[in-house]
Chain A
Amino acid sequence: MKMRIRRKRRRPGLMLTSLLDMFTIILIFMIVSFEAEDYEFRLNPDLQLPESSARSLFKPAVNVAITRAGVLVLDELVAPFADGRAAPADYEAKQIPGVVDALSRVLSAQQALVDPTLDDEDEGPIVMLQADRDLAYETLYLVMRSARLAGFGKYRLTIMKK
């Protein structure tokens, strides 16, 4: 009678060492690139920012995005464009009424929240502009003028750091 020596079949264990190496490297990379900010900013996906060597720090302000579809103030479309351009009447009048109205409302709301008794060292109403790299200057200037008419005198042009 042949006796067969059966060895207990052990289930092969998972090789976790390699996976742990990979996760450790990914974790270190994520910790290094982690940035926690307390402001909310959304980069508009319909435009591509120009690259710049500017070293000014990113500071949040009233977000205005100029896309081919139109001008968005705080993610709300306030002035539609036709083929990336405003209406000819807007260029002649040197303002976009929709943008002026929207930003005026935003400024009023901001000023209602500001406590006048506080010693505010803020630089005043500021607009942060996101614009596509191929946008014509005349359209950019038109939006800036409209923001000026609404009471915003300073601007921050958002760029992608090189």
Chain B
Amino acid sequence: MFDRFREARDKPGELNLIPIMNLMITLIPFLMLGAAFYHLGVIPTSLPDKVEAAAEPPKEAVVTLNLVIEAQRMILTASSAAVDQDTLDALRVELPATPQGHDLKALVAQLVQIKGRYPKSDTLVVLPDGQLKYAELVEILDATRERALPGSTPDVPNFEPLFPVSVFSERILGEADAGAGDAQPGAQPGGAP
């Protein structure tokens, strides 16, 4: 007869989980409203600005690269107030497209070489074909902005900046090789935000 009472006394009480379930039901919808399921970023850019030419040439050699992007090739040229024209002409390179698309590896190799010679240079003026898709342009900008150094991992990123300042311009028909764009004479790239 007393076994029942002994059993009830010795049996441990069960946890009441109802209050904590209430807390979960309240917290989870609130946190779901603020959860970030995708992450957005920005690519700062600008259009060319018209500025007065500097009275004195810059002390350090800095080149501004112009990248003409056509359907079947890319043309990379350079402009600078501190470098002679022959040297600038030697920097010109034409990169034919591969069956997989634009040859970004060759482009990066050229940019690394130019960056090594003119380390203070950071501006790239892009002059894409009018029909170039926005996603392809972004892919090209990703390649020209920076490159991952050996040993870089997602947890420990190690990047070398190449030409992070991008300026959008427009090609003038009939001057494809010169890479002439929308910029007025003496124009400088606008500072990217």
Write the residues of chain A forming the contact surface with B, with a CB cutoff of 8 angstroms. Answer: 13, 16-17, 19-20, 23-24, 26-27, 30-31, 33-36, 41, 43, 49-59, 123-124, 126, 128, 131-138, 140-141, 144-145, 148, 153-161
Chain B residues contacting A155 (CB-CB under 8 Å) are 44-47, 168, 193
Contacts of A16 in B (CB 8 A): 17-18, 21
**How far is A133 from B137 in the complex, measured between Cα atoms in Å?**
9
B193 touches A20 (CB 8 A): no
Residue on B nearest A155 in the bound complex, by CB: B45
Minimum distance in angstroms from B154 CB to a CB of chain A? 10
Closest beta carbon of chain B to A19's beta carbon, Å: 7
Most buried by A among B20, B32, B49, B193: B193
Chain B residues proximal to chain A, CB less than 8 Å? 14, 17-18, 20-21, 24, 27-28, 31-32, 34-47, 49, 128-135, 137-139, 141-142, 145, 157, 159, 168, 170, 190-193
Q: A54-B145, A141-B170, A159-B41 are in contact. List 18 more A-B contacts (CB 8 A).
A: A16-B17, A26-B28, A27-B24, A27-B28, A30-B31, A35-B36, A51-B138, A52-B41, A52-B139, A58-B39, A133-B134, A153-B47, A153-B49, A157-B42, A157-B44, A159-B42, A160-B41, A161-B38
Q: A35-B36, A58-B40, A145-B47 are in contact. Are A23 and B21 (CB under 8 A)?
A: yes
Q: Is the CB of A156 within 8 A of B43?
A: yes
Contact of B43 among A20, A35, A54, A145 (CB under 8 A): A54
| Contact pick for A27, options B31, B39, B133, CB 8 Å | B31
Q: Are A20 and B47 in contact (CB under 8 A)?
A: no
| Chain A residue contacts of B129, Cβ below 8 A | 137
Contact of A156 among B31, B42, B131, B159 (CB under 8 A): B42
Shortest distance between the CB of B168 and any CB in chain A (Å)? 6
Q: Which of the residues B42, B131, B139, B159 comes within 8 Å of A136, measured between beta carbons?
A: B131
| Pairs of residues from A and B, 6 with the lowest C-beta to C-beta distance, nearest first | A138-B130, A30-B31, A133-B135, A50-B135, A156-B42, A23-B24
Please report the C-alpha to C-alpha distance between residue A124 and residue B44 in the assembled complex, in whole angstroms.
13
Chain A residues in 8 Å Cβ range of B40: 41, 43, 49, 58, 158-161
Q: What are the residues of chain B within 8 A of A23 when measuring CB–CB?
A: 21, 24, 28
Q: Which residues of B contact A56 (CB under 8 A)?
A: 41-44
Cα–Cα, bound, A124→B192 (Å): 11
A55 to B183, CA, bound (A): 28
